[in-house]
Structure 1
Amino acid sequence: MSSAQSLIDSGRPDLVAGRPTSVAHLFQERVALTPGGEAYRYPVPVDEHAADSTPGAEQWRSLTWAQAATRVYAVAAGLLSLGIEAEDRVALASSTRLEWVLADLGNMCAGAATTAVYPSTNADETAFILSDSGSRAMFAENTAQLDKVVAELDRLPALETVVLFDAPDGPPEAGRLKVISFTELERLGAEHLAAHPDAVEKAIAALDKEQLATLIYTSGTTGRPKGVRLVHDCWAYEGRAQEASGLLAADDVQFMWLPLSHVFGKTLISGQIATGHVMALDGRVDRIIHNLPVIRPTVMASAPRIFEKVYNGIAGKARAEGGAKYKIFLWAARTARDHARAVQESRVATGVGTAPAGLRLKHAIADRLVYSKIRAAFGGRLRGAVSGSAALAPEIGYFFVGAGVPILEGYGLSETSAGSCVNRAEDIRVGTVGRPLPGTEVRIAEDGEILLRGPGVMRGYHNLPEKTAEVLESDGWFHTEDIGELSPDGFLRITDRKKDLFKTSGGKYVAPSEVEGKFKAVCPFVSNILVIGNGRNFCTALIGLDEAVIMPWAAEHGMAGSSYAEVTADPRTHELIEGFVRRLNGSLQRWQTVKRFHLLPRDLDVEHGELTPSLKIKRPVVERTYADEVTAMYSGANEA
């Protein structure tokens, strides 16, 4: 290995070193510090009988920290009354909503450990996760989640109780399971506290920092998911590290729509409690655009796919308007990227980020014409949008930074409690994932693999000691299986997944994610792309198009009324995408170029098992599904 590089480079490292035992303790501290401060916002339907109500209307309500504590402690006491004990696993299968946070915090305050389950997970895998974890109880969003476990109940001997967030009117079919509503659990907890006022305080006081707090199962691009064991110290560290880094601040308003079952969303709960800022919760993806101007967040987090879709939507709208408006957009987009690059290069070279006078003038004009409208669509107050879980195409990053919507790309894994590295708003380095959070060390191995060490690193895979030994060294270094490099001033750049790198038959290595990212930057119609070429004499690609962008284009080009599959099979669409592939190839080495491609008859999705719940492509699944199409691209070909 090369020499290790350890960076505690910003903020208050003493906060990290002096962290409390657990997030439950952190929560107690927060409630004591700012009991009347706003903690959470959440949407509720407007009374349909109100005179001024409209169908589907909603309003946002708030909980103060003191109000949140009352509910969290009631949940914790309710679990204790059901016989839940220290480190008992309690599963949580729900979309992102207020009750998810209350349940998770209630689990931790009771001394239990949360088993996170994506609500989109099918019955078979849900049963595997609950069985492997040995979960005794489960919070379920609705009867659809309950039905999954009832269908597989013979595989779940440890499961006793299900708590429903959305309870049906009548008793659901649940076999031997005890089923109660979330409201009933809180009532049981209030009664338990009336009889045992210090029950929750005692449970929190008994917590040990190395006690299991969470089992998060890797979404697994191959095989069964592995349960990642994250202890209380992991989350306490993440909370203090995010605070110390300046990533989150007390006066922030954070819009949380990410799935909290994913480690990326989960870790931000810790940061929010540490800083005490407001978190607005609504996991309905179809409401994001509507919610942004209502919430007016200062901070939000997202997977790159959302930023790509926003960019494609903006570009598509400008293209549809045509003429001068489209030319103005193209000029403004180029100006945004040029300005962002110039400022970044100036900051790296001199420590002061600035751009040449002529470029500043063009940027100011573009701001009035284009960028101000983009910022308004995000609510007008966004100081930072954290991007994680997959690579963001640099050209997309430069565009948004130049438009005044700073995307702070970060890096982490389920095995590191998510937060390991992140760009800071005052020092963005597009194309990197920033510097390590205070207390986290980064090392680049001799083969280029990134190794991480710090309090956020897991304590192992649940029930899989051999798998743990493969990735976790005795001195705490975790092998990420990602390839990267560190700049002299500590910015980490991810170049590819170690297992995704492939070698062509000509002996040249190709990093597919690099090629895929470049294509997303040049083609506004793409949704997903998979570059193939392992052991082949040239590269090909399977491409899924963004339906919301390609269908309007198709209607304008004589394909109105055609289905998505018909549009992607049309020679005119192939010709359109071929033009972008040629642009891509112009920026690549010869052996990286995409010689042939196939447009998929439908986009990749979670439902067909081609994407993980965090929207990573399951490469082996996709290649198996479209094996005939891949074979056809190489059939009779001899291109070098």
Structure 2
Amino acid sequence: MREYASPALTDVPPRGTLTDDVVRNAAEHPDTVAFSRRAGDRWVDVTAAEFLAQVTAVAKGLVASGVDPGDRVGLLSRTRYEWTLLDYAIWFAGAVSVPVYETSSADQVARILTHSGARAVVVENAAHAARVRVGGGRRQVWVLDDGAVEALTAAGETVGDDEIDVRRERMSGDSLATIIYTSGTTGAPKGCMLTHGNFLHELGAAVEELDELFAGEDASTLLFLPLAHVFARAIQVGAVRRRVRLGYSPDIRTLSADLASFRPTFLLAVPRVFEKIFNAASQKAAGDGHGKMFDKAADTAIAWSRALEDGRPGRFLRARHGLADRLVYAQLRAALGGRCRYAVSGGAPLGERLGHFYRGIGVTVLEGYGLTETTAAVTVNTPDALKIGTVGRPLGGTTVRVAEDGELQVRGGQVMAGYWADEAATAEALDGGVWLRTGDLGEIDDEGFVRITGRKKEILVTAGGKNVAPAGLEDHIRAHPLVSQCLVVGDGRPFVAALVTLDPDALAPWAEAHRKHGGPADLADDADLRAEIQSAVDDANRSVSQAESIRRFVVVPGDWTEEAGQLTPSLKLRRAVVMSELRREVDALYE
């Protein structure tokens, strides 16, 4: 059994909670801009002192409305300033926040609110409120777009500061901070109980090791991932702790404009976002007649990044890189606001090619690994310790090991307290109550860098007895600009095959350039398009043995989406759902 431990870098006070950061910031740096919120076409700043005042006022409103210490309060909204405001107000009131993805159906909302026993819920708009009410249950509902913050502030005018102080003082690191429900890729979502201490252990290590991102008076980040996801939530509390200016972009349609005006110094995103940025730039260049120039610039960026690992790039490569920087890379960095030097990626494997590409253009993507059960990251690449293709080393105070069956297991202060109201699932997940069984397969090299090789439950065993991890093959194929999603199949079958969907945004300019007509359904069997997909399959096959290689594939008309139920809110593939819906297509691959 291979094991690697990183020493703890900071001590976590047993009585500390996440509310302490807000109070300390207001006392020591009252005029520092903590947040920027959209108001029409401009950003309105919120100082540390103003934030404390607003959080306290809303917390009083929750108290006046009957929210008691330990009560669960739901949060259903897009990523916006009020989400953070309510999150901290719930903690100041001694209560527990229960985030719900704003894309959740009425049935999903009802299940989470009912299972968690939420006494109240704050939603963004009337449509969200309607979903809550469809699920039934007698709980208070406040609507942000209808003045929830103002109503709570008014309701709390009769509550004294001492009541909030008492509630804060009664909490400790062991107090429950939030219940975050997993995305449910392999079954019903489970409620991960994360304490204030879990977050403080995570922050104590992460912000220290990623100091280059969080340090500096001008440090800032723009949140656009759902705050219902633990990844964005960890960045939120990390930004508050280190006084990093935090902005919000709730609508993907305005993200480009928000990036240009906010100009963050670092970003966080899932791999699909980085793929989309690359593919959009590639297709735009091709549509403008500069496709070959972009391809050469991309190859140069990758070569430059690889050369950094081997030593100083040679003179010829430096000349090529300098030219590409002026013609291509500068425009890509400008699209991210012009000041972004680092990005943090999590949720799924990024892939070596994209990792090298972004470092080559001057935006280093630091890939990490973690789960909801681990309060976000347990391993991460850092500016000082970076190995592209891995998910980095364990954070300080964290130990990882690879069990005899190849499963990655984790021990550390950020591991959850358990699953809410589910002792059986908790016992299954926590080996001896200490080691978390992640369900992921991994490797640890001699320097402690971790590589994720697949999901334990997703290993395919072909009819010939060959074990195949589909994740790596799928990642290679998804890297092709025309591909949106990929599902590798072959369990109990004579060979490995794949289902592929097309990216409509990338397909349109490709079709125009190749004088094709129609959408994904019309071009699914087009010979030229299949040749493009075959090139991606060939690239994937070069990374595995012949027995593991993909022999056949089918292009599926239409894409897989969260709305249709094939993807989770964090954009993970629900394999069982896709297999059930496309069983005929899978059978046809083997006829």
With the shorter chain as reference, the TM-score category is: over 0.9
The one-letter code of the counterpart of 1:439 is: G
What is the CA–CA distance in structure 1 between the aligned matches of 2:221 and 2:292, rounded to whole Å? 35
- Residues 491 and 579 of structure 1: is their aligned pair in 2 closer, same or farther, counting only changes over 3 Å? closer
- Which whole-Å deviations, capped at 9, do the CAs of 1:28-78 have from their partners, x for residues lacking one? 122222111001111122xxxxxxxxxxxx211110011111111111111
Match of 1:342 among 298, 307, 310: 307
- Residues 426 and 17 of structure 1: is their aligned pair in 2 closer, same or farther, counting only changes over 3 Å? same
Aligned partner of 2:30 in structure 1 is 35
Q: For structure 2, which runs of at least 5 residues remain unmatched after alignment?
A: none
What is the CA–CA distance in structure 2 between the aligned matches of 1:201 and 1:23, rounded to whole Å? 14
Q: Map of 1:494-509 to 2, 5 A cutoff?
A: 494-509=452-467
Aligned partner of 1:113 in structure 2 is 96
Aligned partner of 1:534 in structure 2 is 491
Following superposition, the deviation at residue 421 of structure 1 comes to 1.4
What is the CA–CA distance in structure 2 between the aligned matches of 1:567 and 1:402, rounded to whole Å? 34
The one-letter code of the counterpart of 1:524 is: P
What is the CA–CA distance in structure 1 between the aligned matches of 2:193 and 2:374, rounded to whole Å? 10
Match of 1:585 among 541, 564, 568: 541
What is the CA–CA distance in structure 1 between the aligned matches of 2:299 and 2:402, rounded to whole Å? 34
Aligned partner of 1:171 in structure 2 is none
Q: Tell me, yes or no, if the aligned pair for 1:299 and 1:383 is still in contact at 8 Å.
A: yes
What is the CA–CA distance in structure 2 between the aligned matches of 1:593 and 1:20, rounded to whole Å? 54
Match of 2:316 among 351, 358, 361: 358
The one-letter code of the counterpart of 1:232 is: H
1:513 aligns with 2:492: no
Please state whether the residue corresponding to 1:617 is helix, strand or coil.
coil
1:432 aligns with 2:390: yes
Q: For structure 1, which runs of at least 5 residues remain unmatched after alignment?
A: 46-57, 168-179, 347-353, 636-640
Q: Tell me, yes or no, if the aligned pair for 1:240 and 1:271 is still in contact at 8 Å.
A: no
| Farther off after superposition, 283-292 or 113-122 | 283-292
- Which whole-Å deviations, capped at 9, do the CAs of 1:230-283 have from their partners, x for residues lacking one? 111112222322221125224311111110001111111221121111001122
Q: Tell me, yes or no, if the aligned pair for 2:263 and 2:336 is still in contact at 8 Å.
A: yes
Aligned partner of 1:563 in structure 2 is 519
1:201 aligns with 2:165: yes
Aligned partner of 1:267 in structure 2 is 234
Aligned partner of 1:98 in structure 2 is 81
Please state whether the residue corresponding to 2:457 is helix, strand or coil.
coil
Aligned partner of 1:277 in structure 2 is 244
The one-letter code of the counterpart of 1:237 is: H
Q: Map of 1:466-485 to 2, 5 A cutoff?
A: 466-474=424-432, 476-485=434-443
What is the CA–CA distance in structure 2 between the aligned matches of 1:273 and 1:102, rounded to whole Å? 11
Q: Tell me, yes or no, if the aligned pair for 1:385 and 1:406 is still in contact at 8 Å.
A: yes
What is the CA–CA distance in structure 1 between the aligned matches of 2:158 and 2:94, rounded to whole Å? 16
Following superposition, the deviation at residue 587 of structure 1 comes to 4.3
Aligned partner of 1:216 in structure 2 is 180
- Which whole-Å deviations, capped at 9, do the CAs of 1:477-527 have from their partners, x for residues lacking one? 111011111122221111111111112122222111111112233x21111
Q: Map of 1:52-91 to 2, 5 A cutoff?
A: 58-91=41-74
1:550 aligns with 2:550: no
Match of 2:275 among 308, 317, 323: 308
Aligned partner of 1:329 in structure 2 is 294
Following superposition, the deviation at residue 556 of structure 1 comes to 3.1
Question: Identity over aligned residues, as a percent?
Answer: 38
| Farther off after superposition, 460-469 or 235-244 | 235-244
Q: Tell me, yes or no, if the aligned pair for 1:19 and 1:240 is still in contact at 8 Å.
A: no
- Which whole-Å deviations, capped at 9, do the CAs of 1:311-355 have from their partners, x for residues lacking one? 111111222233xx3222222111111111121244xxxxxxx33
Aligned partner of 1:55 in structure 2 is none
Q: Map of 1:173-192 to 2, 5 A cutoff?
A: 181-189=148-156, 191-192=157-158
What is the CA–CA distance in structure 2 between the aligned matches of 1:229 and 1:41, rounded to whole Å? 30
1:149 aligns with 2:132: yes
| Farther off after superposition, 592-601 or 612-621 | 592-601
1:122 aligns with 2:122: no
TM-score scaled by structure 2?
0.96
What is the CA–CA distance in structure 2 between the aligned matches of 1:356 and 1:612, rounded to whole Å? 45
Q: Tell me, yes or no, if the aligned pair for 2:440 and 2:456 is still in contact at 8 Å.
A: yes
Following superposition, the deviation at residue 569 of structure 1 comes to 4.4
What is the CA–CA distance in structure 1 between the aligned matches of 2:46 and 2:37, rounded to whole Å? 9
Please state whether the residue corresponding to 1:283 is helix, strand or coil.
coil
TM-score scaled by structure 1?
0.89
Following superposition, the deviation at residue 18 of structure 1 comes to 4.5
Please report the RMSD computed on the Cα atoms of aligned residues, expressed in angstroms.
1.7
- Residues 192 and 434 of structure 1: is their aligned pair in 2 closer, same or farther, counting only changes over 3 Å? farther
What is the CA–CA distance in structure 2 between the aligned matches of 1:314 and 1:504, rounded to whole Å? 38
The one-letter code of the counterpart of 1:236 is: L
1:614 aligns with 2:578: no
| Farther off after superposition, 337-346 or 254-263 | 337-346
The one-letter code of the counterpart of 1:443 is: R
- Residues 320 and 584 of structure 1: is their aligned pair in 2 closer, same or farther, counting only changes over 3 Å? farther
What is the CA–CA distance in structure 2 between the aligned matches of 1:370 and 1:557, rounded to whole Å? 24
Q: Tell me, yes or no, if the aligned pair for 1:253 and 1:298 is still in contact at 8 Å.
A: yes
Number of residues of Structure 1 aligned to a counterpart in Structure 2 = 588
What is the CA–CA distance in structure 1 between the aligned matches of 2:300 and 2:552, rounded to whole Å? 32
Following superposition, the deviation at residue 24 of structure 1 comes to 0.8
1:164 aligns with 2:182: no
Please state whether the residue corresponding to 2:451 is helix, strand or coil.
strand
Match of 1:231 among 191, 195, 203: 195
The one-letter code of the counterpart of 2:38 is: P
